[in-house]
A and B are shown apart, each in its own frame.
Chain A
Amino acid sequence: MPLLPALLFTIVITQVPFLFSIWYSLTDWKIVPPTPREFTGLENYTSGYSNPFFLDAVGTTLAMTVTTVLLSVVVGTVLALLLDRDFPGRGVVRTLLITPFLIMPVVAGLVWKNQMFSSVFGVFSWLLETLGFQAIPFVERWPLWSIIVVLVWQWSPFMMLIVLAGLQSQPTDILEAARVDGASSRGIFAQITLPLLRPYLELGILLGSIYIIQVFDHVEVITGGGPGSTNVPYFVFQRSIGGGWDFGQASAYAIIVVIASIIIATFALRLLSGLLEGHEVA
């Protein structure tokens, strides 16, 4: 059966580590200091979800994901509306706009941190000083927001492409009919365009959330988990191979993340399923 190799490969590589994680999470396994591995049942979970640092990381992840996704959707929609018309150099403008999405996350983080945000040689502080204000060390003052700005910069083009696909799928005859009937541009946008865009916006929100909930690179290079910017992936990393070496506890956190992801994924899959029905011949 032509399907088997791909299926087996995916099962082995993605599901087996997960089973290991469940086993580790039920043990008391530390590398530093080395302790004999003992089965401790659900202890890691009960101590885990009451750990204030973990709760902070959960809060940061939620704030980071929700803010980034919503801002990207708004900015992306505005960009798409700007692009949804014929004007000189449209292709070039679109090319420039999608570039941030193609930039390696590590590079995006480093460039923004050192060349935009920096209070010494950053472009932003130079602008502020030119306008007569004081330079601001953005990353030190607003660690979480600095990361969010870079994420929005990278993800708005993604949302733009999705919304643009939605805008261009609008049936011309309906819009024309509405216009002939004397509907205003604003009315048409609110009553025809937005409802038609809804599945596209939902898809953008869900796909964006899947990726942004897992953000690691930006946190690593911009703040290194500095105050208030440690999200759950970075937290789990810190607690295990990133220096904590408490494998049992870290695995428990990881499993909690997986359970949360499954809940989100269920909604996402239902949506993808709807799109599968709606846009394609099965």
Chain B
Amino acid sequence: MTTTHRERVLTGETVWGTLTLGLTAWFVAAVFFFPVFWMVLNGFKEEADANASPRLFFEPTLDRFREVTTQTPGLLGFSEAFLNSFWVVAVSTVLVLALAIPAAYALSVRPVRRWRDVLFFFISTKFLPIVAAILPLWIIARDLGILNSHLVLIILYTAMNLPLAVWMLRSFFSEVPRELIEAAEIDGTGLWGQITQVMLPIVTPGIAATALLCVVFAWNEFFLAVQLNPVDASTVPIWVTSNVSTRGNFLAKLSAASSLAVLPVVLAGWLAQKRMIRGLTMGAIK
């Protein structure tokens, strides 16, 4: 049965009906995408063009992109913010995987006693509002002298993404055929060997999808970054807001900065969209 036939059976539509609805889908997608398109477009404008009644045609310029990427002494620069974000996101994601892979193994392949309770404990921490913890976090970080450092964000982003990663990886791990692991065990392979030699080759796509979601959430995070880290180790979201000015026109500049800021995550999300759904639902839906 071809896909087209299957779809038609499912929806009971004529070819013309499908076409009309397809066109509708295209139209709706264009409307949804418009703000993003407009943002990118404005990034290529002169301030005078961006701060005029909306126009589609104009003389494009790369000057705004040059402006926002040029370092001004004393201000948070583009390269600084991107490097800060890169380190915080990369290290926290590696940490999440290092903690979550063994944990997911212990919750799926060789379930520990009360594994269900453990799993629900992890996810229950996602329900605690961060705002309720920000005050003690701020005070603890200050007392430990790690306020305004990469470290504080790395620790908190790891904690933020860990529950999601454990749930997601558990769901991928539970698909590995048990016979494979038992065979490896009979051959005398230890725990580390079982994970690296048997599991990892099979679940690599799942691990990649998990890592991607951790990157998305950490890259976009603003609240913790701005509360705990507003000065020395500022990340990209803070850099974006620093382009809002109370004096003079800033729309084109802000658009250029915003376009650069969202680019890495949007590209990554586009590439991995098919796997994203599973992570978002904590592995409950495949």
CB-defined contacts of B261 to chain A, threshold 8 Å: 104, 107
Q: Which of B66-74, B75-83, B201-209, B251-259 contacts A (4 or more CB under 8 A)?
A: B251-259
CB-defined contacts of B7 to chain A, threshold 8 Å: 84-86
CB-defined contacts of B128 to chain A, threshold 8 Å: 14, 18, 258, 261
Interface size class of A (residues with CB under 8 A): 35 or more
CB pair A115 B127 closer than 8 Å? no
CB pair B35 A112 closer than 8 Å? yes
Q: Is A17 an interface residue (CB 8 A)?
A: yes
**B interface, over-half SS:** helix
Q: Is A216 an interface residue (CB 8 A)?
A: yes
CB pair B262 A103 closer than 8 Å? yes
A-B CB proximity, top 10 nearest: A87-B22, A2-B102, A20-B136, A254-B132, A265-B127, A6-B103, A17-B136, A13-B159, A3-B106, A102-B269
Residue of B25, B105, B123 contacting most chain A CB atoms (<10 Å): B25
Nearest CB of chain A from residue B172's CB, rounded to whole Å: 11
What residues of chain A have their CB less than 8 Å away from a CB belonging to chain B? 1-3, 5-7, 9-10, 13-18, 20-21, 24, 79, 82-90, 92-108, 110-112, 114-116, 120-123, 126, 129, 153, 156-158, 161-162, 164-166, 170, 172, 175-176, 179, 185, 188, 200, 203, 207, 210, 213-214, 216-217, 220-221, 232-233, 236-237, 240-241, 247, 250-251, 254-255, 257-258, 261-262, 264-265, 268-269, 272-273, 275-276, 279-282
CB-defined contacts of B184 to chain A, threshold 8 Å: none
CB pair B26 A89 closer than 8 Å? yes
Which residues in window 192-223 of B have CB below 8 A to A? 216, 219-220, 222-223
Nearest CB of chain A from residue B159's CB, rounded to whole Å: 4
Interface size class of B (residues with CB under 8 A): 35 or more
In the complex the two chains form, what is the Cα distance from A179 to B7 in whole Å? 13
Nearest CB of chain A from residue B200's CB, rounded to whole Å: 14
CB pair B25 A236 closer than 8 Å? no
What residues of chain B have their CB less than 8 Å away from a CB belonging to chain A? 3-4, 6-7, 9-13, 18-19, 21-22, 24-26, 28-30, 32-36, 38-39, 42, 50-54, 99-100, 102-103, 105-107, 112, 116, 118, 120-140, 155-156, 158-159, 162-163, 166, 171, 174, 191, 216, 219-220, 222-223, 227, 236-237, 240-241, 244, 251, 254-255, 258, 261-262, 265-266, 269-270, 273, 276-277, 280-282, 284-286
* Contact of A2 with B42 at beta-carbon distance under 8 Å, contacts A20-B139, A103-B36 already known: no
CB-defined contacts of B99 to chain A, threshold 8 Å: 5-6, 9
CB pair B10 A84 closer than 8 Å? yes
In the complex the two chains form, what is the Cα distance from A182 to B122 in whole Å? 48
CB pair A85 B11 closer than 8 Å? yes
